[in-house]
Structure 1
Amino acid sequence: MTRSRAGIDAIAGRAVALDEENRIVASHRGLPGTEPSRLLDALITEGDAGTVDRVVAILPEPVPAEVRRVGVLRIGGATALPPLAGWPERMSGTGPVAMVRGGHEYDGTESAPLDLDAVAEFARQCAGTVRAVAVSGVHGLENPDHEQRAAAVLADVLGPDMPVLTGGETEAIGLLERENTAVLDAALAESARARIDELGAAVRKHYPDAELYLVRGDGAVLSELDAQRHATACLGAGRAALLHGAARLAGVPAAVVADANDGRTVVGTTYGGLLPESGAHREFGGVRIGSRLPRLTVVDRERSFAAAVARARYGYDELPVVLVGTQSADLPGGSVIRLPDGDLAAAVGAAAAEAAGSVDRIFWQGAGGGEDSVARARQLARDAAVRAGADPRTLRETPVKEALMTYVPVPAARLRAIAVGPLLEPVAP
């Protein structure tokens, strides 16, 4: 029997099944906003999807709301801006907020012992009043020990079922971005778990051994359990999957993709399974979080289209242009690829999505110098990709980006490394 992977686009109401060669073997076109479990049921009922061993879904994005019943704990950083500084008023209401002694220096050494008594007191304040807790420590990326010890105390007091999100789980250098991400993930954890559990039940009803993944905002995948804890990582998933999927439908490894709908066109680039970043941080409800936005250009006139394509091609001059969207026929012709099944692009991008891992942090260069730091950054990125589900035998790596840090007292550099590759295929029974 044919083995396939299903992609569910709950935003557009589309579902596809791809075979091992990434060819569409079944599809379903439903209404936008259809429940993902219903899309999966329809795909399996109406088409010959074969045996599905993986389902990758794009879920509707959560709506910004007040952050209620979330405890916020900051470890160290008493001289920094307090937690939730700069948040919109409508989102700033939380449960208990505390700052306790502890944290680390820039090189990962302890700056002050963790005040476990204060952590326990905070936990008691949270008992019976919160539905999740966010914990962030100063320089938690360099050394997550205090975050992990505080999380253990919280689990002892509040119970193992209480979601505790730590800032160190987010690959973002800034304390506030890590903290904001942890708080929002904590606030969304309950609803994310409910939505994903419902889809997971539908998947296992048909295929008990199938794996479930969600699409991240960069088009890569997030495991079922990780997606329940990191809802903000899936912001922008629909756009990212569309870019990757359009290139796959066109049969090219990289492309400039133009999506024309509702009087505007969004132009972006997919290259080697990655989306070039704009450098700007993503926001959710006016709150800046740790993930970054892809480089996109939005135009509302045809005469601006050529300039947007030129910008998207920057550094990749020979990329083909792929057109999708309900108004793609209105875009200028010439050397472009028009897709007859362009409305399935995001679902295809989901079904064929790969796993990725990245590292973006400051490395303190010791006796081994810069070469050791680069090697460590590459290994951390590879390890993260494998944890995300990538096959270690087929990983691809981007060149390590390096920026020297001249304002710290020891030799240091900010390094960015990314590894990406196909998901490890399950062993055939």
Structure 2
Amino acid sequence: MGSYRIGIDVGGTHTDAMVLDEGYRVISEIKQPTTEDVSTGIYQAMKEVIASSGVPAEKINYAMLGTTHCTNAIVERKRLNRVAVIRIGAPATLAIKPLVGVPDDLKEILDQHTYIVKGGHEFDGREIVELDEEQIYKIAREIKGKVDSVAITSVFSPVSSDHETRVAKILAEILGEELPISLSSEIGSVGLLERENATILNASIVDVARTTANGFIQALQKEGVEAKVFFGQNDGTLMSVEYTVKYPILTIACGPTNSLRGAAYLTNRSDALVIDVGGTTTDIGVLVSSFPRQSSLAVEVGGVRTNFRMPDILSIGLGGGTVVHVLEDGEIKIGPESVGHKLSKEAMIFGGNTLTTTDVAVALGITHLGDPDKVAHLDQDMLQNVYSRMVEMVEEALDKMKTSGDPVPVILVGGGSILFPKDLKGASEVIRPDHFGVANAIGAAISQVSGQVERIFSIDELGRERTLELAKDMAREEAIKAGADPSELTIVDLEDVPLAYLPGNATKIRVKAAGKLMKTM
């Protein structure tokens, strides 16, 4: 009895979908314009890809979705939850209030119920001051019925999360178990303000994630598909629906990471640079042992500085729909604006009157699309100039992502990758694999499920070996919660950094466990 899976990835311009068999062979693939509301495009692509695959709906056991719903909600400031923000850190942290530095339009939405209460820990895990439980009960009664979710952040909670856990318990007692609560110790790393911001953003998009998940499940059921649903997360692995609704912030930047995983699978390369050319941007990432390299910097999301786990991706405003301006003095300006999903109406080769990068490539005979006669009148020297600058932009970005001056293998994926040559400065070889246009959907479909733990441990308590084992067990536990098969788990990443400024031989340990999906019955 064959088992099939469907993978869908939403980009700014296109929504890609595909059906794979159990040997991960592509049965059918489809590209649909991304719609304004995102969901319609997903349902349309899903419907078409199932129909064209000829696979009976009941044989599709898994459905994976890599989506921009949560990112869009933050960027557009729409559909966000009413959040209660509780910081456990008085009197130590009163000087800087929560949401400092957050753009005003977003602050207005998120800063309606903000509290700082007594409590928190020192960097060595000692209590600064006892948690003010009475105040928590008071807050719980005050916010009842006024908020949709709560974000709790305590000082040095990655060292000791006791106060966060206790506050969550009290809130659940008063407000009910259903109210979503985000704990900073489970989301960000050390660095109070950035971790707090990440936790508040996470709490603000819980309903967006839930609505997206429910809509996707219902759309599948409408097609007769009763599949186990997973969402792409930004380390190139998957998570279950329950896990997604708890940690929706982990879906941010899952698109580029899906492309990286797809590129690794399609080329059988575990270490390479991946250039993913979409309609609006070109994203460049680095594969290390088949997984995306992680960023070690604080990352801005929708203008908010955060420190949760993110892939190290460089995005430039250059894609298949990027607008090319030829100024009066003959100067050329490429992007960053793009016609996006309107490419098939607005580009000159499709009868529109906007000069795009795709028109340039077609006019120069680099790729064949639309009607080349519509761009035949363009000046060849001008086109050559634009094209040289496009290639230069990619080569410069490629150079920024390399860790040495040596040439490296480069994998070109994404629908817009047809614009670029097989020869790039800084690349030892340029590979454009089969199914390159839907590498992101393949990445979503073939991904494993993972769990990650990043926290500070005191090595003196258990000794180094046993502490590392404990951290690995915690990561395995997280992976199982996210939907991984316990018998198929492997540790794919382990990093420990001694923290000389902390007592007790403190060490920050990050471990990631990944494994195959738990089989459906």
TM-score normalised to structure 2 length: 0.75
Please give the secondary structure, in 2, of the residue aligned with 1:407. coil
TM-aligned CA distance change 1:29 to 1:311, over 3 Å: same
Aligned partners of 1:425, 1:318: CA distance in 2, in Å?
41
| Amino acid aligned to 1:53 | N
Aligned partners of 1:386, 1:317: CA distance in 2, in Å?
40
Match of 2:106 in 1: 91
Q: CA RMSD in A?
A: 2.7
**Cα distance, 1:399 vs structure 2:** 5.5
Confirm whether residue 42 of structure 1 aligns to residue 48 of structure 2: yes
Confirm whether residue 337 of structure 1 aligns to residue 431 of structure 2: yes
Please give the secondary structure, in 1, of the residue aligned with 2:141. helix
State the identity %: 30
**Cα distance, 1:25 vs structure 2:** 1.4
Confirm whether residue 63 of structure 1 aligns to residue 73 of structure 2: yes
Match of 1:31 in 2: 33
**Cα distance, 1:273 vs structure 2:** 3.7
| Amino acid aligned to 1:173 | V
Confirm whether residue 54 of structure 1 aligns to residue 56 of structure 2: no
Task: Tell me which moved more, 201-210 or 184-193.
Answer: 201-210
Task: Tell me which moved more, 258-267 or 198-207.
Answer: 258-267
Residues 207-241 of structure 1 show CA distances to partners (whole Å, capped at 9, x for unaligned) of 56521111112221121122123222111111111
Aligned partners of 2:408, 2:487: CA distance in 1, in Å?
28
The answer to whether the Cα contact below 8 Å between 2:259 and 2:413 also exists between their aligned partners in 1 is: no
Aligned partners of 1:151, 1:367: CA distance in 2, in Å?
27
Match of 1:386 in 2: 480
Please give the secondary structure, in 2, of the residue aligned with 1:232. helix
TM-aligned CA distance change 1:214 to 1:316, over 3 Å: farther
Match of 2:5 in 1: 5
Please give the secondary structure, in 2, of the residue aligned with 1:120. helix
**Cα distance, 1:121 vs structure 2:** 0.9
Match of 2:86 in 1: 73
Aligned partners of 1:204, 1:109: CA distance in 2, in Å?
51
Match of 1:321 in 2: 410
Aligned partners of 1:328, 1:363: CA distance in 2, in Å?
45
Residues 7-56 of structure 1 show CA distances to partners (whole Å, capped at 9, x for unaligned) of 11233222111112211112232222343233322222232234111111
Aligned partners of 1:254, 1:393: CA distance in 2, in Å?
27
Please give the secondary structure, in 2, of the residue aligned with 1:225. helix
Aligned partners of 2:243, 2:514: CA distance in 1, in Å?
17
Residues 125-169 of structure 1 show CA distances to partners (whole Å, capped at 9, x for unaligned) of 212322222112223233333222222322233333322222122
Match of 1:356 in 2: 450
Pick from 152, 156, 168: which aligns with 2:173?
Answer: 156
Higher helix share: 2
Aligned partners of 1:418, 1:191: CA distance in 2, in Å?
27
The answer to whether the Cα contact below 8 Å between 2:415 and 2:438 also exists between their aligned partners in 1 is: no
TM-aligned CA distance change 1:207 to 1:422, over 3 Å: farther
| Amino acid aligned to 1:390 | A
Aligned partners of 1:53, 1:344: CA distance in 2, in Å?
21
| Amino acid aligned to 2:512 | I
TM-aligned CA distance change 1:123 to 1:5, over 3 Å: same
Match of 1:165 in 2: 182
Please give the secondary structure, in 2, of the residue aligned with 1:277. coil
**Cα distance, 1:395 vs structure 2:** 2.9
Q: How many residue pairs get matched? A: 427
**Cα distance, 1:4 vs structure 2:** 0.9
Task: Tell me which moved more, 253-262 or 345-354.
Answer: 253-262
| Amino acid aligned to 1:196 | A
**Cα distance, 1:68 vs structure 2:** 6.7
TM-score normalised to structure 1 length: 0.89
Please give the secondary structure, in 2, of the residue aligned with 1:295. coil
Aligned partners of 2:235, 2:87: CA distance in 1, in Å?
28
Task: Tell me which moved more, 106-115 or 238-247.
Answer: 106-115
The answer to whether the Cα contact below 8 Å between 1:281 and 1:292 also exists between their aligned partners in 2 is: no
The answer to whether the Cα contact below 8 Å between 1:71 and 1:130 also exists between their aligned partners in 2 is: yes
| Amino acid aligned to 1:10 | V
Aligned partners of 2:298, 2:284: CA distance in 1, in Å?
19
TM-aligned CA distance change 1:246 to 1:130, over 3 Å: same
Confirm whether residue 420 of structure 1 aligns to residue 514 of structure 2: yes
TM-aligned CA distance change 1:192 to 1:330, over 3 Å: closer
Confirm whether residue 373 of structure 1 aligns to residue 478 of structure 2: no
Task: Tell me which moved more, 189-198 or 231-240.
Answer: 189-198
Please give the secondary structure, in 2, of the residue aligned with 1:401. strand
The answer to whether the Cα contact below 8 Å between 1:96 and 1:125 also exists between their aligned partners in 2 is: no
**Cα distance, 1:77 vs structure 2:** 4.8
**Cα distance, 1:298 vs structure 2:** 4.7
Structure with the greater alpha carbon radius of gyration = 2
The answer to whether the Cα contact below 8 Å between 2:269 and 2:290 also exists between their aligned partners in 1 is: no
TM-aligned CA distance change 1:174 to 1:204, over 3 Å: farther
Pick from 243, 247, 266: which aligns with 1:230?
Answer: 247
The answer to whether the Cα contact below 8 Å between 1:77 and 1:138 also exists between their aligned partners in 2 is: no
Confirm whether residue 82 of structure 1 aligns to residue 88 of structure 2: no
Task: Tell me which moved more, 36-45 or 291-300.
Answer: 291-300
Aligned partners of 1:399, 1:152: CA distance in 2, in Å?
32
Aligned partners of 2:31, 2:98: CA distance in 1, in Å?
44
Please give the secondary structure, in 2, of the residue aligned with 1:71. strand
| Amino acid aligned to 1:90 | D
Match of 2:341 in 1: none
Task: Tell me which moved more, 243-252 or 232-241.
Answer: 243-252
Confirm whether residue 395 of structure 1 aligns to residue 408 of structure 2: no
Aligned partners of 1:144, 1:367: CA distance in 2, in Å?
17
Residues 271-311 of structure 1 show CA distances to partners (whole Å, capped at 9, x for unaligned) of 33421123122322211223243233456642464565466
The answer to whether the Cα contact below 8 Å between 2:282 and 2:315 also exists between their aligned partners in 1 is: yes
